């Protein structure tokens, strides 16, 4: 967890280009509030340049940044709300379904950002939940142990490779254990909506003794170390960053369909600094903020800011995970339990 604050006596920059003159009132109100508290699942060191840039724009708005794992962020927010305690002005999380459940349960404030016209429809729900990235979900492989020419390029090829049951793949396919990983469960439900063939893939993974993990970091380490040859359903930004440190890691954007996830930002109704929260959200969605997100290795949600090299999905079939009600289906307890049981049975095989 990281707690970071910063302030300066300088006044804020002028109203951003293209914003209405009335936006100056939001800036003035944010300066009067004096701060903004951001809870985020994004690593503080990774976000440091972005945070510094925001501070340079609004030096009279003291920014406090608290880094938390996505599920812990959600738990702490609920705990604070249940006890009527002050928490965050901004929740910024990769747990898309948990964020949408907060909105659905009435915890979020509605705010129409001046940047809304640049945000895809799928990345905004009710002006209360905003997707700020558009990140492909990828496969990875160990290039030292699995030559590029033999690596699967889509879901069907991965299934075929596993069904052939070569000895070198037995116990060497890594992905999430969806009983322990909320994000793994989310991607599994999206795969299920994308193609009924996902059950065939899960069966093939089970036949090859899937190595199941709770986090993407564990999967990446497993493949980098050569314990697994292939890793499945990793956020592309994580995979690319790991490949910089371990050149043996190859990254594949599946050619049949590539899921697109987004990190969701919301402003709680109970925010103590609502105007500071508006400034921060608008900054994240602005071209300037999106360039900083790109510099963090993440694919921006705006179409007018190019993604990092290696994460460009132009010309590929993509399926964006909609920021909205479809994410609630997986949160239904009965549906969740039934899908988990079927996943376990399918993985176990006959």
Number of Cβ within 10 Å of residue 328's Cβ equals: 15
Angle between helices 236-245 and 216-224 (to 10 degrees): 30
Q: What is the β-pairing status of strands 264-266 and 173-176?
A: unpaired
Percentage of the residues of the chain whose pLDDT score is greater than 90: 85
- β-strand partners of 18: none
* pLDDT band of 12, cuts 50, 70, 90: low
> Token digits for 318?
């993509």
> Token digits for 294?
């790109």
Percentage of the residues of the chain whose pLDDT score is greater than 70: 96
280 contacts 115 by C-beta, under 8 angstroms:
no
Q: What is the mean pLDDT of residues 293-314?
A: 95
* pLDDT band of 9, cuts 50, 70, 90: very low
Would you state the pLDDT for residue 1? 46
Would you state the pLDDT for residue 13? 61
pTM value is 0.89
Burial class (CB in 10 A: 0-12, 13-18, 19+), 109: middle
* pLDDT band of 350, cuts 50, 70, 90: confident
Token look-up 């990983």 returns: 181
Would you state the pLDDT for residue 11? 54
Q: In this structure, what DSSP letter does residue 18 have?
A: T
- Residues 41-72: tens digit of each pLDDT: 999 999 999 999 999 999 999 999 999 988 89
- β-strand partners of 4: 65
Q: What is the mean pLDDT of residues 282-287?
A: 98
- Residues 141-158: tens digit of each pLDDT: 999 999 999 999 999 999
What's the helix, strand, coil split of the chain in %, to 5?
45, 20, 40
Q: Is the confidence at residue 274, as pLDDT, over 90?
A: yes
Token look-up 């609502």 returns: 274
128 contacts 110 by C-beta, under 8 angstroms:
yes
Would you state the pLDDT for residue 156? 97
Q: What is the mean pLDDT of the chain?
A: 93
- Residues 83-139: tens digit of each pLDDT: 999 999 999 999 899 999 999 999 999 999 999 999 999 999 999 999 999 999 999
* Lowest-pLDDT range of 138-152, 175-189, 271-285, 291-305: 175-189
What is the widest separation between alpha-carbon atoms in the chain?
69
* pLDDT band of 182, cuts 50, 70, 90: confident
Burial class (CB in 10 A: 0-12, 13-18, 19+), 43: exposed
Any residues with CB less than 8 A from the CB of 96 and at least 6 apart, and which?
Answer: 186, 261, 262, 264, 321, 323, 327
Token look-up 């340079």 returns: 56
| Cα–Cα distance measured from residue 77 to residue 85, given in angstroms and rounded to the nearest whole number | 9
Q: Which of 332, 350, 33 is nearest to 189 (CA)?
A: 332
> Token digits for 256?
């049949």
List C-alpha distances in Å: 4 to 37, 67, 214, 298.
Answer: 10, 9, 28, 22
Radius of gyration (C-alpha) of the chain in whole angstroms:
21
Q: What is the mean pLDDT of residues 13-42?
A: 92
237 contacts 135 by C-beta, under 8 angstroms:
yes
What is the end-to-end Cα distance of the chain in Å, rounded? 44
Q: Which domains does the chain have, with CATH numbers?
A: 3-134+262-314 (3.40.190.10), 135-260+327-348 (3.40.190.10)
Would you state the pLDDT for residue 70? 87
Strand ranges in the chain using DSSP code E only, listed in sequence order: 3-4, 35-40, 62-67, 90-93, 124-125, 129-131, 135-142, 173-176, 211-213, 230-235, 249-252, 258-261, 264-266, 318-320
Number of Cβ within 10 Å of residue 8's Cβ equals: 12
Determine the Cα angle at 341 with ends 340 and 347, to 5°. Answer: 90
248 contacts 224 by C-beta, under 8 angstroms:
yes
- Residues 222-262: tens digit of each pLDDT: 999 999 999 999 999 999 999 999 999 999 999 999 999 99
> Token digits for 255?
């050619």
């Amino acid at each position: 967890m990281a707690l970071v604050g910063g302030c300066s006596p300088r006044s804020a920059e002028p109203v951003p280009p293209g914003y209405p003159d009335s936006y100056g009132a939001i800036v003035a109100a944010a300066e009067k509030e004096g701060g903004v508290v951001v809870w985020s699942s994004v690593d503080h060191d990774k976000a440091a340049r972005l945070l510094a840039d925001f501070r340079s724009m609004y030096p009279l708005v003291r920014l406090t940044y608290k880094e938390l794992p996505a599920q812990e962020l959600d738990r702490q927010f609920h705990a604070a709300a249940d006890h009527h305690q002050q928490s965050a002005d901004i929740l910024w999380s990769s747990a898309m379904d948990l964020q949408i459940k907060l909105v659905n349960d009435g915890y979020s404030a509605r705010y129409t950002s001046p940047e809304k016209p640049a945000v895809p429809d799928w990345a905004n729900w009710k002006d209360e939940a905003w997707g700020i990235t558009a990140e492909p979900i990828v496969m990875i492989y160990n290039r030292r142990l699995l030559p590029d020419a033999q690596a699967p390029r889509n879901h069907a090829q991965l299934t075929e490779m596993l069904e052939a049951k070569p000895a070198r793949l037995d116990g060497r396919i890594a992905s999430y254990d969806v009983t322990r990983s909320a994000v793994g469960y989310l991607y599994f439900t999206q795969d299920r909506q994308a193609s009924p063939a996902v059950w065939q893939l899960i069966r093939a993974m089970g036949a090859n003794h899937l190595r199941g993990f709770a986090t993407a970091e564990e999967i990446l380490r497993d493949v980098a170390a050569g314990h697994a040859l292939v890793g499945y359903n990793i956020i592309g930004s994580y995979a690319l960053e790991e490949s910089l440190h371990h050149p043996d890691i190859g990254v594949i954007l599946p050619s049949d369909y590539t899921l697109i996830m987004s990190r969701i930002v919301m402003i709680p109704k109970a925010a103590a600094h609502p105007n500071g929260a508006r400034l921060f959200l608008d900054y994240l969605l602005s071209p300037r903020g999106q360039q900083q997100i790109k510099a963090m290795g993440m694919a921006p949600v705006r179409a007018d800011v190019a993604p990092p090299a290696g994460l460009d999905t132009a010309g590929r079939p993509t399926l964006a995970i909609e920021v909205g009600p479809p994410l609630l289906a997986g949160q239904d307890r009965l549906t969740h339990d039934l899908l988990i049981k079927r996943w376990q049975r399918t993985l176990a095989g006959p």
